[in-house]
């Protein structure tokens, strides 16, 4: 395993040859990637470099915002039947998590992932289900992946498509929390020589937790249109470009440009995404307007389910737990019906055609996805999968 000094920044400064607006192939097959290098980039995060064979190049070589689902097995829990003191569903020990690559090197057929490892702590005695599995993988060993169909796509230098909505922009405002920086790394790589103004606010708990700071600073040196602000909850020492504080309306108003031709993208844990959406809405920022207005309604409604599911099922009687789950299932059914209505009404209000996934007989009734919230919101709105909704919280 390499140290931060082993990280070759020059690799990531070379513009990817993949390009944009690709017709990515996503199927249900499982593919193998071989681990060839692992580098520690912060106290808790690692860079995993995997090699892929030529016969799956058309599967792995995807464009910006695309991701892959890693499949592994969790270790034996500290307490039988529980994981981090919560009921553990028996799925044969299999765990699936989605990660976005930060770089794809088509010359060497290598794909790079930045992943935070959640070790065992007093609060989380079992740590992360999949990340502990990934942490134990040795060089030359393989991992299983499958594709993930992204709903966001860079069409051209000034146009991003989100679901069926195309949004034009001249300025990109980016806000990332923790590992939420990963989908933006390839974006910064692509725009390093393109005349688009970019403002990035990157939030972390501490200076040490800032991932790839040296690389982001290099991007800012190369691209004078890129302005970066590092925001940390606790600043233990002085560090260039880093300010202490939490994301707020004052920070957003000062660091992110708010004009008709500015578009804001944000990515992070659910709490961060909720707060960012509220702030941007209060400041009337443009956030994929057609998409986010109705997504906001869905997220507010989904909190009704979250509040109930967040209560540990072990507390209280079995009858209380069943009653709680029953109410949650009813809420899921309600959400699956109301979201398509919100979607169509918003499309009508904006006099624009927005395709709906709520078609008769469709398996994706009322599905809504937003950055790192995808799995959480998807599980709330997806009929027939109510038993999995206890994963609504940020999944480590």
Annotated binding-site residues for FAD read: 97, 99, 114, 129, 182
DSSP state of 395: P
Which run of H or of E encompasses 153? Answer: strand 152-156
Q: CA-to-CA distance for 26 and 153, rounded, in angstroms?
A: 14
DSSP 54-121: GGGHHHH---TT-EEEEEEEPPPPSSTTEETTEEPP-STTEEEEEE-EEEEETTTTEEEEEEE-----
Burial 193-204 (b: 16+ CB within 10 A, else e): eeeebbbbbbbb
Question: Please, are residues 198 and 172 in contact by the beta-carbon 8 Å criterion?
Answer: yes
As annotated, the binding site includes 97, 99, 114, 129, 182
Q: Strand 159-162 and strand 165-168: pairing? A: antiparallel
Question: Please, are residues 377 and 369 in contact by the beta-carbon 8 Å criterion?
Answer: yes
Q: How many CA atoms, within 13 angstroms, populate the side-chain half-sphere of residue 319?
A: 0
Beta-bridge partner residues of 83: 86
DSSP 290-306: HHHHHHHHHHHHHHHHH
């Amino acid at each position: 395993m390499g140290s931060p000094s082993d990280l070759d920044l020059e690799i990531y400064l070379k513009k990817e040859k993949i390009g944009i607006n690709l017709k990515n192939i996503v199927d249900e097959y499982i593919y193998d990637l071989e681990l060839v290098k692992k580098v520690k980039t912060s106290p808790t995060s690692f860079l995993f470099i995997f090699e892929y064979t030529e016969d799956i190049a058309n599967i792995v070589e995807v464009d910006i915002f695309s991701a892959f689902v890693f499949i592994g097995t969790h270790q034996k829990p500290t307490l039988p039947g529980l994981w981090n003191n919560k009921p553990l569903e028996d799925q044969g020990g299999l765990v699936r998590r989605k990660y976005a690559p930060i770089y794809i090197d088509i010359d060497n057929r290598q794909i790079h992932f930045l992943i935070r490892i959640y070790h065992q702590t007093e609060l989380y005695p079992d740590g992360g289900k999949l990340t502990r599995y990934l942490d134990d993988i040795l060089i030359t060993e393989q991992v299983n992946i499958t594709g993930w169909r992204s709903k966001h796509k860079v069409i051209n230098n000034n146009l991003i498509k989100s679901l069926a909505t195309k949004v034009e922009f001249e300025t990109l405002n980016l806000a990332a929390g923790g590992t939420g920086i990963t989908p933006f790394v390839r974006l910064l790589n692509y725009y390093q020589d393109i005349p688009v103004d970019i403002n990035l606010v990157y939030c972390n708990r501490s200076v040490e937790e800032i991932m790839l700071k040296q690389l982001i600073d290099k991007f800012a040196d190369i691209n004078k249109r890129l302005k970066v602000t590092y925001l940390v909850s606790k600043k233990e020492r002085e560090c260039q470009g880093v300010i202490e504080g939490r994301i707020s309306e004052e920070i957003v108003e000062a660091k992110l440009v708010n004009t008709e031709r500015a578009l804001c993208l944000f990515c992070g844990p659910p709490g961060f995404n909720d707060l960012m959406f509220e702030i941007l809405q209060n400041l009337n920022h443009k956030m994929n307007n057609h998409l986010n207005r109705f997504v906001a309604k869905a997220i507010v409604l989904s909190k009704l389910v979250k509040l109930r599911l967040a209560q540990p099922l072990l507390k209280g009687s079995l009858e209380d737990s069943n009653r709680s789950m029953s109410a949650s299932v009813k809420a899921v059914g309600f959400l699956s019906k109301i979201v398509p209505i919100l979607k169509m009404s918003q499309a009508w209000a904006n006099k624009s055609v927005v395709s709906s996934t709520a078609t008769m007989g469709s398996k994706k009734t009322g599905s809504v996805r937003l950055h790192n919230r995808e799995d959480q919101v998807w599980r709330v709105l997806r009929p027939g999968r109510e038993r999995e909704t206890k994963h609504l919280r940020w999944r480590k």
